[in-house]
Each structure stands twice: as C-alpha cells, then as structure tokens.
Amino acid sequence: MVNFRDSSVVIIESGRTLIRAGIGLQDLLKAPSVEIQARVGLRRNPGDSANGASSLKPGESSDNLRPSASSSRASTLPFQPNLLAKVHDYLVGSQLDEALEAEQDIIVSWPFADGDIRDWTQAEALWKYVLFHTLQLKRTQNESPVMLSMPAGLFRDSSERICQIFFERFNVAGFGLLDRPMAQLYAAGQLNGVVVDIGHEITDITPIYDGFIMQNARSSTPLGIRDCQVYLANLLRSNQSVMAAASPPDKPSDPDVIQRFLDDLVKYVWMEGLVRVPSDGQTIEIPEDEGVTDIAAVLVAGKEKAVIETGMKKKLTAKASAAEQARAREIEALDLVTVEFRGHSVTLGKERHRFCEPLFDPTLLNGLPVERADPYEGRILPLQEAVAFSVRQTDVAQRQYIWQGLFVNGDLTNHVRGIGAALQSRLAPFILSTPDQATEVQPRSIRVLTVPEYFAEYREKGDGFAAFLGTSIVAKIAFNESHGKSFVSKTDYNEKGPHAVLEMSVALL
C-alpha cells in the first residue's frame, strides 16, 4: 500500500498552448499556481553543448519524434525540431520571455500544438521547468506523485513514453495520466456530455458517455481564438477612435504597426472581459451613420466619457435638459466603453460583442489573413454543426444523455462569458422538438454545464480552468486509494516498466 500526503501531490495540465500546474491538495481544491505558455525556445547558435541524441532511446529515428496529426488537429504554431539539442539547451517560461523581449535570435517551438507530442526533448524541457524551477521540487528527494492531463487520443506508445520520462527523468513517486476532456467533464460533476474545448486555433469536440470517451466520435475543427481576434481586428478598422490611436493623423503609422496595434488591442479587450456573446436570434446591430449615432459624432459631444464611466447606472436627473437626456440615452444604446491602451483613450462600441461570430459562421473570415495548417477543400464547419456531427457519431440511445452535458470551456471562457448559452441556442435545430415525433431515446433538450459554485477558488475564474480542477479531483481520489489501481507506483514501474501506465492509469482503463 502506498500512502501519499495530499500536500505532496502535483497536478499538471498540459494543453496545446498552455501548461498549468500546482502542488498540494486541500479539502477546497486550489486553482493552479503556475501557468506558462507551452512553448520552448532555442538560440539559433546554442554552442557546442547542443550535441548528442535528443531522445530517451538513442537509436530511434526522427520519424518517431513527430506523430502524424489529422488535418483538423494539425496546428500552424511553429515547430522546429533539432535532433542535436538537449533538454538544458531549451529556454522555457520566464527565461524564454526575457530572451524574446531582448530580441535575441530565438527559434520558438510548440511541442503540444498538434494534440500529441511533436518533440520529446522539448516536452521534457517544459515538464522539467515546471517541476524543478517553478514548483521547486528536488529530483533526488522527489516524494511527489504526479497526475498529468493531456489531450485525448494520445498514441499508446506516447503514453508509455510520458510515463518513462516522469519516472526515469524526474524520479516521481507515482504517476497517473488522464484525458483532458474527461478531466473537464469531471470538473462539472458529470459522466455524460460533450466537451467543447476552444483553443488558440483549434476547437476539440469530445462526446463522453458513462465516463468513457467515445473515441470514434471525437473531432476537431480549425476554429479558435485566433480567428476571433483576426475578425474583430478587421472590424475595428471602421472605428475612428481606434484608428486615430493606431495611426495618429499628425504622425501616420505604417501598415504593419497599425496591424500590431489592432491585434494587441483586440487581445486586451477580450481578456479584460469586455465582450459578451449573443444567443442565436439576437444580433449586434451597429447603428447606421446618421451623424448623431456615429461613434465619432458622440465623441465630439464631449460628455461621453463621464457617462460611460458611470456605466449609465444612475438615473438621469430631473435637472438635465431634454437634449442632455437624449444624448445620454443614445450613448447607453450604443453600449460604448472607453479603455486606456498604450497611452491612448480608445472608445469601442457594440462591434466588440461580435468577437465570437466566426466560431458560428466561418464564412465571415473569407478574405481575411487566417493561416491554416492544411488547405481545406470543403467548407469549415461552424461550431454548432461540428458539435452536432460529433454527437451523431454516437449510438442513438446515448445521445439524449450526452446532450444533457454541453460543456464549453477553454481559455476563452475565462474572460468571455455566455459562449455555452450561445452555442446551445444554435444547436436547438439539431434535436427533435416536435412532441408527436418524439421517441423514448430522442433528446428533447440541451443542458449547458458550468463548474459548480461550491468550488470557491474557481467561482470567478470562468470555466477555462476546468481541466486543472478535474485533474485535481481525480488525483485526490486516485492517490488516496488503498489499492492504488488508478496510478503507477514506483513498485509497479520497476516490475512492469512503462507499459504499466496502460493498465493502471485513469485515462487508459
């Protein structure tokens, strides 16, 4: 029997573009204490130290370093393999951030961006940084078990390789592997549902029934945060306040500078929670230019800032003139917000709420500079059609249970609320709503899931931390089991080797 102290348990969530981690399990599960981008950097001329084989098995061919990814899972994020580089040659986290800020000649790679592992040395460098640099563990005295969540659909040999790294390189006391969408659904307290994980450029869709991932029904669509940012940046070119800040009339900027300003402003806007998502049937109407309702004209009035700052929460006073009251109502209807960005006061209108539109209508991206990993011959499915397609791949009798757990999460949902409800309304046509045609197995409704309120540390954080929370929940249960059947102990590893992870890990049962 293996006994672990809750305070020693390490949780690591490895997503396509982010890694979150923390140590210690209290009764009230904590939010992650570590968050880094899942990227590594290599100096273009790292010196003589970068030589030798990069993998655990020196005789392996480079073909094994990058598993094939289907076009819908493949990423455009850069991948630069270097078979001569060693783990310590790579810059990670703050080291990489500082090197890039200093404009050093750095080659950046994203080893998890395809949903599997593109390069094992790069992956090891990331996990090593998290364990020994940020969490301050000591390899020689490592008494911590690790529960790791990874994107669903890992190759079996990839799972074994991960197990090998954690025991042989990091000397962990125990190891468990969990599918990321399963962890996300556990965080919502359910065993049935469809998990929609919106990432940077890819959205993963995973139907789950009775605690098991329906592997044949999993899918991905090449839509994500990046597409939304490109779309809104283009819309903001029609906003005079924004363009005046991006390229002042007295000192015009070149096109590249303007584009960078727009891209950074859009990222700031959604991450500050200034975007909401309308449900199907609701539209964000941009007022026609009639001289009065135009944003530029409102700015000229000179009183918009005070009105915006109060948020129109106070009632108009009786002393205000009829003209002032009319102007204030106009501003409220425009839903303006003023932000301070790079020394400029920038006023945004309702166009900011159109941020998520490309997820539901990819044709809006036609003509915009959006790079795809592979050319698509057919049309890219809107998110609602992609989700409906995945659920239709499951057994008819399972669907009514799966539709009762629509769980939309990912980093976007930490800052932009309402995406789940917006997707729910757009999915309504895909289930039968006519009572006289209904059968016992026919789904009649779709229920949106969220992380329960009783997880205090997650209450105000949105649903984007669901994978970390679910991994923590599983770790709490698995590492306290009397028989230890849901993780690999050192004894198990010594007896069976890396193959033990296929028999004893929650993800692969």
Domain ranges of the chain: 1-33+135-188+462-509, 39-122, 226-360
Between strands 337-341 and 10-14, the pairing is unpaired
Q: Which residue has the higher pLDDT, 114 or 437?
A: 114
* pLDDT given for residue 486 in this prediction: 85
Q: 104-162 pLDDT, tens per residue? A: 999 999 999 988 899 999 999 999 999 999 999 999 888 999 999 999 988 889 999 99
* pLDDT given for residue 294 in this prediction: 45
Residue of 341, 380, 131, 113 lying closest to 239 (CA atoms): 341
Between strands 203-209 and 212-213, the pairing is antiparallel
Residue 40 contacts residue 122 (beta carbons within 8 Å): yes
CB under 8 Å to 378, separation ≥6 — which residues?
none
Confidence of residue 384 (pLDDT cuts 50, 70, 90): very high
Confidence of residue 374 (pLDDT cuts 50, 70, 90): low
* pLDDT given for residue 46 in this prediction: 52
Among 57-71, 451-465, 469-483, the least confident range = 57-71
Query: What is the crossing angle of helices 225-235 and 255-271, to 10°?
Result: 120
The alpha carbon dihedral of 374, 109, 413, 405 has a sign of: positive
User: Given a cut of 90, is residue 369 above it in pLDDT?
Assistant: no
CB under 8 Å to 231, separation ≥6 — which residues?
354, 355, 357, 358, 364, 365, 368
* pLDDT given for residue 73 in this prediction: 65
The alpha carbon dihedral of 287, 292, 297, 303 has a sign of: negative
391-398 average pLDDT score: 94
Between strands 174-179 and 488-489, the pairing is antiparallel
Residue of 475, 491, 490, 488 lying closest to 159 (CA atoms): 488
Residue of 40, 41, 44 lying closest to 105 (CA atoms): 44
Among 130-144, 282-296, 493-507, the least confident range = 282-296
* pLDDT given for residue 260 in this prediction: 94
User: Given a cut of 50, is residue 61 above it in pLDDT?
Assistant: no
* pLDDT given for residue 426 in this prediction: 94
Architecture of domain 1-33+135-188+462-509: 2-Layer Sandwich (3.30)
Cα gap 90→50, rounded to integer Å: 10
Residue-averaged pLDDT of the chain: 83
The DSSP bridge partners found for residue 344 are 341
Runs of H (alpha helix) within 75-179:
94-101, 120-128, 156-164
Q: 299-340 pLDDT, tens per residue? A: 444 444 554 455 445 555 555 677 766 666 666 666 888 999
Confidence of residue 213 (pLDDT cuts 50, 70, 90): very high
Confidence of residue 71 (pLDDT cuts 50, 70, 90): very low
The DSSP bridge partners found for residue 37 are 18
